[in-house]
Amino acid sequence: MPVQVALVTQFVFALTAYSLVAKWYVAPAITGRPLRTVLPPLILMHLMRPISMWLLVPGVIVQPTIPMKFAQGTAYGDLVAATLALISAVMVRNGAKGALLMVWIFNVLGIFDALRNCLVGMVTKAPPHMGAMVFVPGYGVPLLLVSHVLIFMLLIKERGQKVNPANTR
């Protein structure tokens, strides 16, 4: 079986599983709770993104033939996303001014980075060169995408409540 077929199959099933967990369990559990409480756990999981730095060390986990365009863009993009995630989580937890703006910045850049990594990885045919790192897009990326969607849902709901003058919080 080609690596891409196995990866896409795993990605789809993981994305489905994480989405159902989010819909059935996570969303109901966080509804109505303060953003200061519910956003940090959803953001902090993105601190695992620098695992992609291993793409820059060919021969350890990934093969030396890994496309460098994919490896470098993914590793450095994930490092930036993780840094923004840390700043966002700390700001939200501390109730800092501009915290929600920082979360918006992290979430927009983070989801675009994740989608870019998927696209460039497939275009450059990176998966056959990824060795054990292929489990990251198979299991980890779907989880991060679902957390990005949950974060967007919370941010959009919060924004709608602030715009609606009939809503009292």
Segments making up each domain of the chain, as ranges? 3-162
Identify the residue with better confidence: 50 or 160.
50
Tell whether the model's pLDDT for residue 99 goes beyond 60. Answer: yes
Split at pLDDT 50, 70, 90, the class of 161 is: confident
Average pLDDT over residues 76-88: 98
Mean pLDDT of the chain: 94
Split at pLDDT 50, 70, 90, the class of 162 is: low
Torsion sign (Cα): 9, 15, 21, 24: negative
Least confident of 43-57, 88-102, 111-125, 147-161: 147-161
CB atoms near residue 12 (< 10 Å): 12
- pLDDT tens-digit series, residues 39-62: 999 999 999 999 999 999 999 999
Distance CA 32, CA 100 (A): 17
Query: pLDDT exceeding 90 applies to what percent of the chain?
Result: 90
- The predicted model scores a pTM of 0.91
Angle between helices 3-21 and 141-163 (to 10 degrees): 40
Among candidates 168, 148, 124, which has minimal Cα distance to 43? 148
Distance CA 155, CA 147 (A): 12
Tell whether the model's pLDDT for residue 139 goes beyond 50. Answer: yes
Tell whether the model's pLDDT for residue 168 goes beyond 80. Answer: no
